[in-house]
Every structure is written in structure tokens, then in C-alpha cells.
Structure 1
Amino acid sequence: MKNDQQQNTDDLTHKLPEAENPYQLSKLKLTKVEKWAAGVPAVMAAVSDLIEDKTVLRGGKALFKMNQMGGFDCSSCAWPDPDDDRSPLGEYCENGAKALAEEATTKKVTAAFFKENSVYSLSQLDDYQIGKMGRLTEPMYLPVGGTHYQPISWNDAFAKIASHLNALESPNEAAFYTSGRTSNEASFLYQLFAKEFGTNNMPDCSNMCHETSGTALKTTIGIGKGTVTLEDFYDTDLIIIIGQNPGTNAPRMLSALEKGKKNGAKIIAVNPLPEAGLMGFHNPQAIKGIIGSGGKLTDLFLPIKINGDMALLKAIELLLIEMEKKNPGQVFDHEFIKDKTTGFENFQKQFENLNLDHLAFLSGVSKDLIIEAAEMIAFKKRIIICWGMGLTQQPNGVDMIREIVNILLIKGSIGKPGAGVCPVRGHSNVQGNRTMMIDEKPTNEQLDRLQAYFGFNPPRDHGYDVVGTIKAIHEEKVKVMFCMGGNFLSAAPDTTYTAEAFRKLKLLVCVSTKLNRGHLIHGKESLILPTLSRSDMDIVNNEIQIISTENSMGVVQSSKGVLQPISDQFLNETQIVCRMAIATLGEKSVINWPLYHDSYDAVRDAIENCIPGFENYNVRVREKGGFYLPNAPRDGQFKAKESANRASFTLTEIPDNELEADEYMMATTRTHDQFNTTIYGMDDRYRGIKNERRVIFMNQKDIDKAGFKAGDKVDLFNYNDGIERIAPLFLIVSYQIPERNTVTYFPETNVLVSVNNVVKESNMPASKYVKIKVKKHDPAIYEKIKRM
């Protein structure tokens, strides 16, 4: 007979796991808003994480191999390493060190841990607490109706996956998600398995970050990647950073900006918030950066309204047209326009009906600042424009990137040294994944090459992207979901809707290094498969293996882990894919999966035969610094659709961003103590936030007008699609931000982002464009949420 306490505990374990962070506040402390990034505080923060994860010696030793020749590639951002001159002190940033600390930890999440902790009880923790549990060490299984994960052998896990996949009525009832952490080798085999299985349902993290960039660039310049190299930043005239915060999202970019500044470049920054990493930089690898005043980065800051970017870009173009009329041939590159582009006349004609004052009003930037920006651009040819998710996650993000291309085309600033486009990718190998054909929309040319080499006919119909997958799961069209890394749930929009969908899955499989909330919102059955981290030694046939990745600028290089794995039950990702393929496809397969299971070199030989640009792959990837992939626009060759070796000017529209009287525009962002959905700590040092994440940044005028005070508790609401979405219990923080604009952290406010609020053409979640209402916190709101 169970006592009352035991009965209550059992009841709790059968409750529905929480899909979101607990609705509770810590003790918010406001500190100074910083005007520069990095420096000694960054070094101290990196060291403190190693101490916290009890891996000072183990992790500290590995840090000196991170991003070094012959070392391992950082698992966080995709900013490129220098081709030759790499810092002996450490070629990594603060967040890279934090990522390594969590990989190098010796804390373990074992079968005993899961026996003691139910799925529901774990869901009551916040994302920071969940992520700090340690490394997953053995395969775990959650049965139908189960409350606790339990150990399972690798053989039984693959048999379970095969059973579910082979029971589907159609291969298209399965979806295979990929995180950007996955290597080229694993990514190639993963998409190969999905295609031989019979589906192109391959949602990936590109669908949530830079799908917009690829969509815009392919149709304008003929390639879905950036066109610049790291060396271009060192020798350019002007760098424009728009919708991107390098100090937090790609801190090593600051060194490149500093070097460009020293060589004479000017920098224009366009952003709703005056981020520390845009304004100044204290280089922790230089004496001046440690004991001196550091260096100023931005020469001109344009405080744009959320989604005012299109109006700003067109205002600049209008001014450039006027300057060209006054200075014929000095502002525009007419030879380039004539020889390399199409559509210029129609592009220029649209400005006959545009007014500078109106465009300035729509942008939120003063006319004087816009004129200053145009003057900085007008007589320069070597121009680099960088952007991040501040653009790509806007509803008209594809058009805004096309407008960026328009500016560079009139200047002739693509395909020459020190000039071009630079989408700053957020995850280590997200670009490599796409090169390896992790794509729900593969081209016929790609599929033809696979068919010719392997001898099977891959599916030709396009599959589901991230948003399409969520909807398909909800409609029970997708019944099995396999996640190769990442935290799909917390990265996805519309958290409540996505969680409801996941609970309908017959099987959810997650390949992971650490526990995250995505393991707790499970299917009817769920598996967690532990794998090696990027920094772990990957030993196959008693030899330490190399993998390869592709950075933001198209460099493919090797990566070789240095840490002794803390569990003997890890499988590398290629082996996981191969064993899944062998178990699922059996004798039906025409692919030699056992060969690829045991040899990365064999995988690279297959890549060489199937993907252009990888000639002599096994030799070149072992060369110092790796090799560059072909990039036609970088060489002045354009293959945009409907043009013969010409880049395309595009006609775009200015959006209507009208708000109701009680509405605000919200953009989600990350803290400095965070990488994507991984929470390293509870502070946002640069923005002056300590010990809290449930905050909403608002302009003081808006706070006063609404009758609030800084520090007030509020609830946030979104009403897209006629559905009330609620994010309760946030604290107001007064901040330097345009009026009627607000900023919050994700994933806490992903619940407010409708699954239907997407970027046109790229179908990405438009998380930087969410209309919300802010109301005084009502404690009764929790009961309302429970009933939703």
C-alpha cells in the first residue's frame, strides 16, 4: 500500500511535461549597459564556465586546440578562421569557450539519473538548469505511457527505429531534422539515407536562420552563399552591418572589423539597439585591448525601427541616384551594370515616385543620418554588406536582401577584392549541411549525380521544411521524427502548437550530447541517442579520425577532436546513420553502408564523386587551412535565374508596418550568455541585465504612455490567426530602442510567434516581426494558459 506522499509523487510523474520555461522570476539586477565588447570580462567569463563545469584542466587544454590548424572546429558560430595567421593565445571567443566547457564537462547524465527523475519533474526546471546536468552517456528509451526514460541497447534502439520506419504507409510519413553542428561526412550520409528510404522531408536549422539569404541570393547572383573572404574585411573601404550583433552572435568577427578599421575601412551599423559589439571592441589578445581604451568600431549608427530596413535602403538608393546625376560616372559603376546585370532601367524608374522624407519616417532614422550614410557609400567601390537574423527573420526578409544586392550592383561591389555580400551564419556547419544536400528542395542536377553514382532513383518531390514539418506532424501526416542534434522544440515557433504536434508522433528520436527540453516533449515513444561532441576524439578502427566542416565563407577544413570521451557508449554520427540504414533498409539497400560505417575517407570519396568542388577531397582537406569551394560571383560570374551570366536587379515593395493604438512590434533575440537555444547563464552582460531572462525592453516614452513603470510585471499577448497566445510574467526594462518597438529573449517568447507568421518565399519563422500587446500581469493568467 502506497502512502499519500508516494501517491502524490506518482500522480506528478504522469502530468504533461512543460513545453516552456517555468513562469517564475529570479532577482533581476540592472547593471551598466556596455559600450564595448570582449576585453578582460570576456576572458574571465570564459574561465568561470570552465570552473563551473569542473573542467579547468581538461577543457583549458582543449581550448588551445580550438580553431587551430590540426585542432578541432568550434561547435558554435560559423565565423571563418584565418587562412594562416592564427593567434597562439587562443583562436576562440567567450561563447566558444562556454560551448567547450559544456562539451568537456565530466558530469554525466546516466540511466540512474533518469531512474530518479521523471520526464515531468525535469520539465519543471528551466533551460539553464536542464543544460547544466552534464553529458548524456548511453541510449535511453521512453516507452508508450512511460514516465521515465530507461536504458536501451544500441541494437535494440536501431531495431526500434527500423520497426517504426518500415511500418509507415509512405516514406513521407517520416522527417529527418539536422542541426548545423553535424559534420560534412555525417550530413552527406544522413541525406543519402533519407533519399534511399524515399523522402526529401529534411527540415534543418537553415530553415530557421538563413533560408532567407539563400533564397534571395540564388535568384539575384546565382549562389546561396556569401561572396567575400576573411581577407576582404582586412582590405576594404566600407563595411555595413545590418540586423546583426557580432559581439554576441559572432564575437571573432570583431577582430576582423578591428583589422579592417586599422587599414582604413569605415563601418556603418544598422540596428534597433545600439549593441556593445557594434560600438566598440577591446581585443583580449592585444595589450591595448586589456589595459587600454580599446577601439571604436562604428563610425555611423542608424537606429532603425523593426522592419524599417527596406525604407532605409530605398532612401539611400534614392540619394545615390541624385548624387550620380550630379557626379556622372562617379557614384554608379556603369560598366559593371552594363556588362554584368539585368533589370537596371526598371529598378531606377521606381524612384521617380519616392520621397526621402516619407522614407525616413518609415525607417525611423532621421533624414540627416540617412544622408550621411549615403555620402559614406557614394564614392566608395569596395563595400561589404553583412547581415544576420535581424533581416532574415522579417516577413519581407528575402526582398530586403535583394535590396542589399541592388545597392552593391549599382556600385559594382560584387566580384572584386574587398567587396560583396556576407550573410553571417549562426551555427558551425549549417552552410556545410546545405552543401552536403541537406535540403528539402534538392535540385534535379543533385539527384541525377546521386543516382548515377549509387544506382538508385532518389525521390524528386520536394519535402517539408521546418514550418511544413510542424504542420504535417500536427495533421498526423508525419509520424516519425528523427533529430540529428539541436533542440527542435525550443528553436521552433509557436511553442504550444509545436508541442501539441510532437505529442502526436509515434516515435521521436534525438541524437544529442546534452539533455535539453526537446527530449521532454516527446512522442508516444522516444529515444535519446548519445553522440560525440566536436571536441571528443572520434576513434574508428583504433585511429583518431578527422571530420570536415564548411565555414561562412566557403572554406572546407578538417576538425580533429582532442578530448578522451567520458563514455564508452558513444557512437559518432556517421555510425548512427549507417547502423540505422542497415537496420531499416537491409538487403534492399544498394549502398555499402558497412564501408561508410568504418571509413570517413570512403565517405569523402563518395562526396567527391557527387558534389562539385570536392575534387581530391581526402588530400585537400588535410592541407593546412583546408580549401575554398568554387564561388562564381566571387570571381565576377553570375548565374542567376533567367539571366545569362548576369546578376539581377529586383523590384521590391515597402511594407506597411501600421500598428493598432495598443500594439507594439516585438523582435526576439538571444542574450550574451546564450548560443541559439543553449543557455550558458542567466546574465546579459552587455545589455546590463543580470540574473533574469523574462524581460521586455521598451522605450521609456512607451512605458510612460501606457501607464507602466520600469520593473513592472506584465503579460505579453499575440493575436495572429485569431488565436490568443500568451507569454506571462515579464519585467519591463527601459532601454534605448525606437518607440513602439520591443525586444525579448527566445525561447521564452517563441510561444508568441505564430507558425503562420513566416517570411515570404523562404517560409522561415518571422521571429523578428511579432505584433504584441502588453498588459499588467494578472496572476489568474496561469489558469487561463492551462485551459488553452
Structure 2
Amino acid sequence: MTDDVEHVPYDGPSGGWGSVKSLKTILRREGHSVSTSLALRKQNKDDGFMCVSCAWAKPNPPHLFEFCENGAKATAWDLTSERLEPDFFARHTVTELESWSDHQLEQGGRLTEPMKWDAATDRYLPLPWDQAFAEIGTALRGMKPDEAIFYASGRASNEASYMYQLLARMYGTNNLPDSSNMCHESTSVALPKTIGVPVGTVTLDDFEHTDLILIFGQNTATNSPRMLHQLDEASRRGVPIITINPLREKGLERFTNPQNPVQMLLSPSTRITAQYFQLRPGGDLALLTGLCKSLIEAEDNGATVLDQAFIAQHTHGFEAFARAMRGHDWKEIERHSGLTHAQVEDIATLYTRANKVMGVYGMGLTQHRAGVDNVQMLAALLFLRGNIGKQGAGICPVRGHSNVQGQRAVWITEKPELAPLDKLGEMYGFSPPRTKGTDVVDAAGKVIKGQAKAVIQLGGNLVRSLPEHRLLEPAWRKLPLTVMITTKLNRSHLIHGRAAYLLPCLSRIEIDRQATGPQVVSMEDSTSFIHPSHGMREPASEHLLSEPAIIAGIAKATLPSNPKPDWDAWVGNYELVREAIAETFPKWYKDYNQRMRQPGGFHRANPARERIWETKTGKANFLPPKSLDANKDTPVEGFGTFALMTIRSNDQFNTTIYGYDDRFRGINGSREVVMMNERDMARLALAPEQRVSLITVADDGVHREVGNLQVVPFDIPEGALAAYYPECNPLLPLWHHAEESHVPAAKTIPVKVRRMSPAAP
């Protein structure tokens, strides 16, 4: 979309009447406005359905309306009255549809029948389910198992995810990349080394007892708005909330609770952020180092600021860590963080005055070359004052997609050491593969090199999400097989393999009728609580199958005969799948079916909350960073090279674009924009709304450029830029990822700005 942008800086709160108006707009646009409004009353309730958007925790008891603006948009998006039936594909070739925007493709509505791409007509044509399964099975049997990639988005239920990983492993591969590889894999790598679990330690109860909340790189108002309820209540109790983020996000400054009639009518919004610190992109590592250095040196000078008892009893490596922190120079910390020594000391002072502190973070910490180090340093900061394993304190990674944490916990992982392979082999009578599989970066590399022959996607929009578009898209078209299990049309269905199948599935919100009646699925939220989800709406088409049914259909057509996994019984009764999960790992899932139904769900075991450290040392580990330069191989210092952050608007979720208005940033009518500091604009002689290209700075022989972007002046540090994901994803090199975790480093892409001719379209 190349419409001119309208930029009117926003000065209102998050929530409030703006959210109500936005919700009304999408309900009218998607149809079924009355029935969808009624369905929203059941969203995130024990007897209702779990949100298909973010994974933020669900309180017990829930609010009357336990949904946010973006969660309601996601529900309306799923329950749309629009349909993409076979006659739609008869009217449009795939080549024609490639010219449509991401918004237009999904706006078309729900897919209704299984389809296969026909090369002669360049159209998707309907085919029977049995034929689709048979053809897919034949193709998979004709290749080596490690030539196939089984990707899973974070939206699939625990039941579907368990069946999917079993399909892949019985087929013979651990190629199970997932959406966590895109965002919080840095968390999953860092936390087991530091605290012994791959997830955070905070629950909603901790928000009621905390003294201080530090938020790093997390735009709550856009990415997990229901968290604003906890932040609102904490702020009203006088708890300081400190935000550390390069962009000044208006949605995090003030909040009007749409469920509070007094706030809505009298507009007494709550101040959310007490202090806002705008560091440079990638500066978190230096800031965290500075905070730890400040505390350690204060203790050296006679102050009592460290929890010496916790450090002595529960941690390992403190002395070496302390020496490393003392060895860093304040000028070095200032240069890399973008904050002054005084600003770092201000944060440190607030931290030492609080007894119970929570460290909340998002992809602003994880999507960097030093993403793993960032998370380890936040854990170390919390260790210094004993802020892990006590009420009101802890580390809190805010996960993205609604069940990305849950599917990992039922072993959607490329790492064989993280799955109970011996037990799976014993239960199902096969020899599980033991070699490491591919994560998303590895998967993209295999496709580009021609080493992959099939990509099966359980949800998601992988082609649009991955880096390196210039190399990836041509290679993707050469794949012998692509299979997409999906509800709507997206870019990955148009950039497809030589044999391509669209397999439309039920939405989580729809009634899933099987042999034993309507089924219930389950998912895990960001705080490790597992909840049931009941379908509420009649299916969009009589031809749709559930995700478990589609997975079972592919499994039966692909795998050798084996009576031990009873795929048909599982499809007929998801309680049997949960019993299988419980048998596979009773430590987490004993009495799964019974506990899932208790009010508020059940909490999966988290030893670190009890100060039990399942690490190699048996303690929580201090791990200093290797360098304070978060991007040492892609320098962005000196004027002319900028650090680009790709971000989301409040009118999208991941690659799903609901509209073209980013209310909190005051950007309307277009997503083809780049946000820039006004002083940088002046140095480059750029005017607001002038069109520019961004070009990646990399000496690897690949030209990466995104053009026709309009410049928007914004409150962002000098030398930094921000632009929307996924539109600017083509600028991200495949090799530019977090060390160890392979998370694409989308928050610090080195780019140059080039002015375009005024005559450019």
C-alpha cells in the first residue's frame, strides 16, 4: 500500500474511548457484529475460549470483559462473515494475488475447502481431503526425513502440538522450528543456564505485591494490552513503573481502563510509566551492566544494597561476575547504552530502594545479536537483590502468540535433548531421531541452499516472517512440496512450492465436533498456567477439519502402520491426547484432564519459583557478557549508518494486519513509513513525508533494500530508526541473528537512508 501517510502525534491514553471506537470499527467491518460481541463475553473465561492473540495471563476470577482491543480484533478477524470459496480462486490467479497487500489477503475471509495449486492455470483448485492426505503422504515418503521441515506457529493447541511433534519424530526428523525461534528463543537459551527453567517466574499474583516494575523493550499497549490492567492497579498503589525503550511509546505513559465507568466518563487516566529512559537500540546490555556495576561498587564502598544471604546460598559465580562488572568503564557504558552515568545511577537508586522487583521484557531484549546475554544480565541484576523466587518479584518474559509457550512444553522443539525421546519411543514403539533439527534460521538456510524438499506449516506465515527475502522467495518456489494448515490466506500461500496444498482448519473459537461430542483444547499462558478453551461458534464451513484431524490425516497417509499411536481415537476424543501427554511427562501433566478444568487452570511446575535451581551447578548462575557491544560485527556508530528497529503497530498482530492506523503513534493511512529523529532528518535534509529507501549495510554481496518509505519525525534517539514489520523484513540478513539462540536480530539492523526522487511512485 503506497497511500500518503497522515501523522498527527497522539496525546491520549491507551485504552479508553479510542479502544472502544477501534473495536466498533472492526466489528462492523467483519460482520456478525452482534454475535461476535456476545462471543467476546466468553473470551478468556473458564467456560469460554482462550484468546487467539497474545499469551498474557488470565486472572482468576476474570474481569467481566476479559479481552483487550487487539484480542477483540483477533476474535472478529477469525469470526468474519467473509469467505474465500473456490469461486474466488477461479477468478484470481496466484500471480495476481501476489500483488495484494497482507491486509487485503486476510481481509478476504475464511478459507472453506482444501485446495491444491494447479500449475497449468496458476490457480488453487479444490480437492477432497482424502486425496490431499494421500498425495502429501506419497510426497513425504519419497524424500529423506531430514529434507522435510515441520514448522508450528504459536497458535496451535497443546493437543495438536503434541500430535504434530510425534508425527515429525515418527517420520524421522527433529526439524520442528516454531515461532519461538523468531522471538523468545533467547529466553529459552538464557534462562535454563541461569535459573534452570526456560520460562519466567512471575505470576499475576506477584503484581499485587511488587514494589517496582522494570519494563525493558516491551510495548505493552500494543503487544499485550491486558497487562495494562496489572500495571494500572500497581501504579494506583504507588508502585513505580520504569520503562526502558528506545521509542517513546505514548500507549505506555497513561491508561484509561475501558472497564472502569468512572475513568471512562470522567477521563482520570492512570499514569503508567513513572520514568521513561530512551536508550539506543541494543543499549540494554550496557545499561544492565551499568546497573550491576553501580550496585556492586556501592556495596564495595560500604553501602548495604546486595542480598548477600541469597547470593551466598543460591548463586554461583558471583565473584567472577563482580570483577567483570568492576572492570567496565563508565564511558564505555555510556557510549554503548546511550544513557548518561547519572541516568543509570537514577535507575539503580530506584532499584535499591525496592524490596520486591519484577523485570518485565519483550523482544527489545531478545531480538539482538546479544539477545542471550541481555536476558542473562537481567537475571543477574535480579539475583543481586534476591529478586527471584519471592513473592512480588521475578523475571517476566512476555510471550507473543497465544500458545507459543505451551507448544514448546509439549516438545515442539528442534533440540532432541529437550524432548522425552526415550519415553516417546517406549510409548509408541519407534526409535526417535537423535540429531539436532532445524530452527527457523537453519530452515531458511536449507531452503536457500536447496537442501530442503518440503515445508509443512501448522499455521503461521513463514515466508513473510523470515529474513533474507531476496534469496528466500526464489528458493521457496523451487521446493517440491509446501503444505499450509491455515484459516485464512496469507503471503506464504502465494510464495509456494511446486506442489502446494491449502488445508483449512477450524478456528479455536469454533465448535469442534468429533466422535465423542464437542471437544475442548488447552493452552499455556506466559506465566505457565494451562487453561481449557471451548469452541463457541458454528464452523465457517462444513468442509473444515480440526488441526488434530488434519495432523492425523497426514500421519496416517505418511507413516508406516503402527497401532500404538491411535490417531483416530485421538481425533475422536482429545482427553485421550491429554492422557498421552500426562503419561509422557507426569512431572508436569499428572491428572491433566482433571486439573485443566479447575477455575483459573493449573500451574505447570516451575522449580525456580521455589528457589530450586535445576542447573549444572545446582544454583542460580551469574554469567557476565562477553562484550558490551551488542552488535560488534555490524557496527552502527558514526553518522550515516543507522540502527533500524522493526516494530508492530497497534493495528496488527504478528504478520496479521487489521488496518493502516497506528493510533498511539499517530500514524495513519500507510504502513510504508520510517520513524526518525528530527535532528537526523535535518542533517540529511529530509522533510516530513519525504520518500526514502533503506539499504542494509553489509559486505556480503547481497543487496537488501526497501523503498518508497515516507519519513515521519518521531521521538527516537539520534542514529536510530523504526519501521514496521513485516514490510521491512527484507532488510534483515539471515546471518544477523542472536548468538546461540539464532533469533533474528530485528531490533538493530544496520541501514543507510537514501532519498528517492520526488517523481517516485
Partner of 2:506: 532
- Residue of structure 1 equivalent to 2:298: 323
Change (3 A) 1:181 1:118: same
Name the counterpart of 1:639.
Answer: 614
Give the corresponding residue for 2:10. 33
Matched residue, 1:621 = 596
Match status 1:563 vs 2:541: no
Structure 1 counterpart of 2:690: 712
Give the drift of 1:146.
4.3
Cα separation, 1, equivalents of 2:590 and 2:484:
33
Segments of structure 1 that go 5 or more residues without pairing to the other structure are 1-23, 783-788
Structure 2: state its 5+ residue gaps: none
1:342 and 1:49 map into 2 onto residues whose CA distance is: 52
Q: Is residue 252 of structure 1 aligned with residue 226 of structure 2?
A: yes
Aligned pair partner of 1:748 in 719, 727, 731: 727
Conserved 8 A contact 2:641-2:697 = no
Q: Give the aligned partner of residue 132 of structure 1.
A: 107
- Mapped partners of 2:706, 2:419: distance in 1: 45
For each residue in 1:143-189, what CA deviation from the matched residue of structure 2 results, as whole angstroms up to 9, or x when unmatched? 34541100011001001110110111x11111100011100000000
The structure 2 residue matched to 1:723, chosen from 680, 699, 702, is 702
CA RMSD of aligned residues (A): 1.5
Shift of 1:560: 0.2
Change (3 A) 1:399 1:562: same
Question: CA offset at residue 44 of structure 1?
Answer: 1.5
Counterpart position of 1:181: 155
Query: Is structure 2 residue 63 aligned with structure 1 residue 87?
Result: yes
Aligned to 2:360: 386
SS in 2 for 1:692: coil
1:680 aligns with 2:658: yes
| 1:584 has 2:561 as partner | no
- Deviation (angstroms), 1:442: 2.5
Out of 203, 206, 217, the position equivalent to 1:243 is 217
Q: Is 2:82 aligned against 1:107?
A: yes
Distance apart, 1:780 and its partner CA: 9.7
Instruction: Name the counterpart of 1:668.
Output: 646
Tell me which of 754, 770, 773 is aligned to 2:752: 773
**1:602 & 1:538 partners in 2: Cα distance?**
15
- Against the structure 1 CA distance between its residues 445 and 124, is the aligned structure 2 distance closer, same or farther, given a 3 Å change threshold? closer
| Cα deviations by residue, 1:699-731 (Å, 9 ceiling, x for unpaired) | 111111012111111111113223211101000
Conserved 8 A contact 1:712-1:732: yes
The CA distance in 2 between the partners of 1:660 and 1:723, in whole Å, is: 23
Structure 2 counterpart of 1:293: 268
Query: Aligned equivalents of 1:772 and 1:781: distance in 2?
Result: 21
Instruction: Name the CA distance, whole Å, in 1 between partners of 2:636 and 2:672.
Output: 27
**1:209 is the counterpart of 2:183:** yes
1:588 CA drift (Å): 4.9
CA shift for structure 1 position 272: 0.5
Cα offset for 1:747?
Answer: 0.9
Conserved in 2, the CA contact under 8 Å of 1:215 and 1:224? yes
Q: Which residue number corresponds to residue 304 of structure 1?
A: 279
Question: Of 568, 587, 599, which residue of structure 2 is paired with 1:594?
Answer: 568
Q: Deviations over 1:272-292 (max 9, x none)?
A: 111123211111111243132
Counterpart residue identity of residue 498, structure 1 = L
Structure 2 counterpart of 1:760, one-letter code? E
Alignment length (residue pairs): 754
C-alpha distance in 2 between matches for 1:152 and 1:180: 28
- Give me the whole-angstrom Cα distance separating, in 1, the residues matched to 2:34 and 2:486: 24
Of 367-376 and 265-274, deviating more is: 367-376
* 1:444–1:731 CA distance, 2 compared to 1 (3 A): closer
Partners of 2:666 and 2:625 lie apart in 1 by: 41
Structure 2: distance between partners of 1:492 and 1:651: 27
What one-letter code is carried by the residue in structure 2 that aligns with 1:77?
C
Q: Does 1:695 align with 2:673?
A: yes
CA distance in 2, matches of 1:453, 1:759: 36
- Structure 2: distance between partners of 1:699 and 1:671: 18
Per-residue deviation at 1:498?
2.0
Q: Find the counterpart in structure 2 of residue 738 from structure 1.
A: 717
Q: Residue in 2 aligned with 1:16?
A: none
TM-score for both structures, normalised by structure 1: 0.94
The 8 Å contact of residues 76 and 95 in structure 1, kept in 2 or not, is answered as yes
In structure 2, how many angstroms separate the alpha carbons of the residues matched to 1:102 and 1:727? Answer: 28
Q: How far did residue 35 of structure 1 move? A: 5.1
Provide closer, same or farther for how the CA distance between residues 758 and 702 of structure 1 changes in structure 2, counting only shifts above 3 A.
Answer: same
> For the structure 1 residues 542 and 107, does the alpha-carbon distance in structure 2 shift closer, same or farther, using more than 3 Å as the test?
farther
Letter in 1 for 2:288: L
Partners in 1 of 2:509 and 2:419 — Cα distance?
35
SS at match of 1:451: helix
Letter in 1 for 2:292: E
Q: Which residue of structure 1 aligns with residue 33 of structure 2? A: 56
Please name the residue that 2:237 is paired with. Answer: 263
Alignment counterpart, residue 425 of structure 2, candidates 426, 451, 457: 451
- Check conservation: 2:694, 2:751, Cα contact below 8 A: yes
Is the 2:157–2:523 contact (alpha carbons within 8 Å) kept by the matching residues of 1? yes
> How many angstroms apart in 2 are the aligned matches of 1:476 and 1:551?
37
Q: Structure 2 length as normaliser, TM-score?
A: 0.97
Aligned CA distance change for structure 1 residues 268 and 353 (closer, same or farther; 3 Å): same
The question of whether the paired residues in 2 share the 8 Å contact of 1:306 and 1:741 is answered with: yes
Q: Is the 8 A contact 1:254 1:277 kept in 2?
A: no
**Secondary structure of the structure 2 residue equivalent to 1:587:** coil
SS of structure 2 residue aligned to 1:25 = coil
Q: 1:466 aligns to what?
A: 440
Which of 106, 117, 122 is the matching residue for 1:147? Answer: 122
One-letter code aligned to 1:126: S
Q: Write out per-residue CA displacement over residues 277-309 of structure 1, whole angstroms, 9 at most, x where no aligned residue.
A: 321111111124313221001111111100111
Question: Structure 2: how far apart are the matches of 1:314 and 1:614?
Answer: 38
Contact 1:233-1:256 at 8 Å conserved across structures: yes
Structure 2 residue 416 is matched with structure 1 residue 442: yes
Task: Give the conservation status (yes or no) of the 8 Å contact 1:471–1:501.
Answer: no
Is 2:321–2:622's contact at 8 Å kept on the other side of the alignment?
no
Aligned residue number for residue 219 of structure 1: 193
C-alpha distance in structure 1 between counterparts of 2:325 and 2:501, whole Å: 57
Distance, in Å, in 1 between the alignment partners of 2:758 and 2:490 is 28
